[in-house]
């Protein structure tokens, strides 16, 4: 038995030595050897720089899949929105217009933005500022088709607009769930930056619920570091599966280019606005007629308040819903219709969601006294100026 084992060990050693010599000096002899059969188009694992990543076998070569599938799914639904105005439209005598933009009488204006096809009927979501004050709106698809677009409705207070085009065989995006997003989730931004053509950039969700940015009245932005540049406005922010989770709207920049801080409107908000604009041509929101301000620790201490969270009411519209219900300047609103409100943004969004014409219970703190008042909610007046240049009012 010992002799047999010795022969086996010597044979294995010689075989390993021969294999080593052949692999070193004649590696081409081993290239035709198939060590393990593989199925065509099989999914394999690709290891790069010590980190594992998904990959696929294509035409005998291994490629990392990355987010190609998500981009391939969503990209055809993102369109370029090309806008222009006639020269007569710019012949304005507004001194503020001339102060900021110079004397542009007789000059036509044009711009390029993006949009997302959301239904086979041709409805497109985009930003209000992309098409605001524009006479001519043209949409260009990825496949090269161009057509004129009709404005179905706009909502300056969320900076959203809905367009419609009449074409067949339209690709449509799948709605995702922005409420399930977490900081760190991978996202792609798709649009037409600087008019160079459709571009896909990748990043992560950097923050959620950004507000008080002065971009629009109702703010609940997704912040991302996926590169967003001028021309991306109205484009799609999609998840790793290619589902729509936001409408790209703005960037923080000192140079006009991306600095890694971009903002998108959550699809949950965009979808509600879109459905209202399609059905009614406008967005109906609740309103109670107060001027709010965040309650700071300094203000709470000055007024000797027993609470530290809520929204201070600094003004009440005469004969408005809040005034008729007994709300006074100096009151601190802590809850509206069973929903707690800790800042101005929460108060604006909560009241806006209330149906006009129906009463809502509003809890307020007045000095050391807590009370609940019934406010009959009114319809929010239509904005007469851009939200970016006016103070928040509710």
Catalytic amino acids?
Answer: 129, 159, 233
Assess contact for 309 and 334: CB atoms under 8 A: yes
Q: Is residue 170 included in any domain, yes or no?
A: no
How many CB atoms sit inside 10 A of residue 147's CB?
13
Low-confidence ranges of the chain (pLDDT < 70): 1-6, 8-9, 17, 19-65, 87-109, 212, 214, 253-259, 383-394
- pTM for the predicted model, two decimal places: 0.67
The answer to whether residues 265 and 360 belong to one domain is no
The answer to whether residues 134 and 203 belong to one domain is no
The answer to whether residues 325 and 385 belong to one domain is yes
Q: Is residue 124 included in any domain, yes or no?
A: yes
pLDDT of residue 374: 94
- Alpha-carbon distance 358 to 347, whole Å? 17
pLDDT of residue 303: 80
How many CB atoms sit inside 10 A of residue 173's CB?
23
The domain that holds 262 is classified in CATH as 2.40.10.10
Whether the CA torsion 22, 28, 33, 38 is positive or negative: it is: positive
Q: Is residue 57 included in any domain, yes or no?
A: no
3-class secondary structure per residue, the chain: CHHHHHHHHHHHHHHHHHHHHHHHHCHHHHCCCCCCCCCCCCCCEEEECCEEEEEEEECCEEEECCCHHHHHHHHHHEEEEEEECCHHHHCCCCHHHHHHHCCCCCCCCEEEEEEEECCCCCEEEECHHHHCCCCEEEEECCCCCEEECEEEEEECCCCEEEEECCCCCCCCCCECCHHHCCCCCEEEEEECHHHCCCEEEEEEEEEEEECCCCCCCCCCEEEECCCCCCCCCCCEEEECCCCEEEEEEEECCCCCCCCCCEEEEEHHHHHHHHHHHHHHCCCCCEECCEEEEECCHHHHHHCCCCCCCCEEEEEECCCCHHHHHCCCCCCEEEEECCEECCCHHHHHHHHHCCCCCCEEEEEEEECCEEEEEEEECEECCCCCCCHHHCCCCC
Structural domain boundaries enclosing 337 = 286-389
Q: Is residue 201 included in any domain, yes or no?
A: yes
pLDDT of residue 30: 56
The answer to whether residues 293 and 359 belong to one domain is yes
Q: List the structure tokens of 3.
A: 């002799």
Q: Is residue 330 included in any domain, yes or no?
A: yes
- Alpha-carbon distance 359 to 240, whole Å? 43
The answer to whether residues 345 and 307 belong to one domain is yes
| Count of the separate structural domains present in the chain | 3
Assess contact for 125 and 246: CB atoms under 8 A: no
Decide which of 133, 164, 195 is a domain's last residue.
164
Q: Is residue 247 included in any domain, yes or no?
A: yes
User: Half-sphere exposure of residue 193, counting CA atoms within 13 Å on the CB side?
Assistant: 17
Q: Is residue 19 included in any domain, yes or no?
A: no
The answer to whether residues 222 and 242 belong to one domain is yes
pLDDT of residue 88: 56
- Alpha-carbon distance 388 to 82, whole Å? 23
pLDDT of residue 391: 33
- Alpha-carbon distance 71 to 23, whole Å? 42
pLDDT in tens, 168-198: 999 999 999 988 899 999 999 999 888 888 8
| Alpha-carbon 296 to chain mean position | 29
Assess contact for 125 and 160: CB atoms under 8 A: yes
């Amino acid at each position: 038995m010992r002799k047999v084992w010795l022969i086996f060990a010597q044979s294995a050693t010689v075989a390993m030595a021969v294999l080593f010599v052949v692999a070193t000096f004649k590696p081409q002899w081993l290239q035709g050897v198939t060590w393990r059969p593989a199925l065509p188009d099989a999914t394999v694992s690709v290891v790069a720089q010590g980190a594992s990543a998904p990959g696929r076998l294509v035409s005998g070569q291994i490629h990392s899949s990355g987010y190609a599938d998500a981009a391939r799914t969503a990209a055809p639904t993102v369109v370029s929105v090309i806008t222009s105005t006639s020269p007569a439209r710019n012949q304005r005598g507004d001194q503020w217009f001339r102060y900021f933009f110079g004397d542009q009488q007789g000059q036509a204006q044009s711009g390029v933005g993006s949009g997302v096809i959301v239904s086979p009927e041709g409805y497109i979501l985009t930003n209000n500022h992309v098409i605001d004050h524009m006479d001519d709106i043209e949409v260009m698809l990825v496949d090269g088709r161009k057509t004129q677009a009709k404005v179905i409705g706009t909502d300056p207070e969320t900076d959203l607009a809905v367009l419609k085009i009449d074409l067949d065989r339209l690709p449509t995006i799948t709605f995702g769930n922005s409420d399930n997003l977490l900081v760190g989730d991978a996202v792609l931004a798709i649009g037409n930056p600087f008019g160079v053509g459709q571009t896909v950039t990748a990043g992560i969700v950097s923050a959620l619920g950004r507000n008080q940015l002065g971009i629009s009245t109702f703010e609940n932005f997704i912040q991302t570091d996926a590169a967003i540049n001028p021309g991306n406005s109205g484009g799609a922010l999609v998840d790793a599966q290619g589902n729509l989770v936001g409408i790209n709207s703005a960037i923080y920049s000192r140079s006009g280019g991306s600095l890694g801080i971009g903002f998108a409107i959550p699809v949950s908000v965009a979808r509600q606005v879109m459905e209202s604009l399609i059905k009614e041509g406008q967005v109906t929101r609740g309103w109670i007629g107060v001027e709010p301000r965040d309650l700071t620790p300094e203000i709470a201490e000055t007024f000797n308040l027993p609470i530290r969270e809520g929204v201070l009411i600094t003004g009440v519209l005469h004969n408005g819903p809040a005034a008729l219900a007994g709300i006074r300047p100096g009151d601190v609103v802590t809850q509206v219709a069973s929903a707690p409100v800790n800042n101005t943004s929460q108060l604006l969004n909560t009241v806006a969601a209330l149906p006009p014409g129906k009463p809502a219970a509003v809890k307020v703190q007045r000095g050391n006294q807590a009370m609940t008042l019934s406010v009959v909610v009114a319809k929010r007046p239509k904005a007469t100026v851009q939200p970016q240049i006016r103070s928040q009012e509710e």
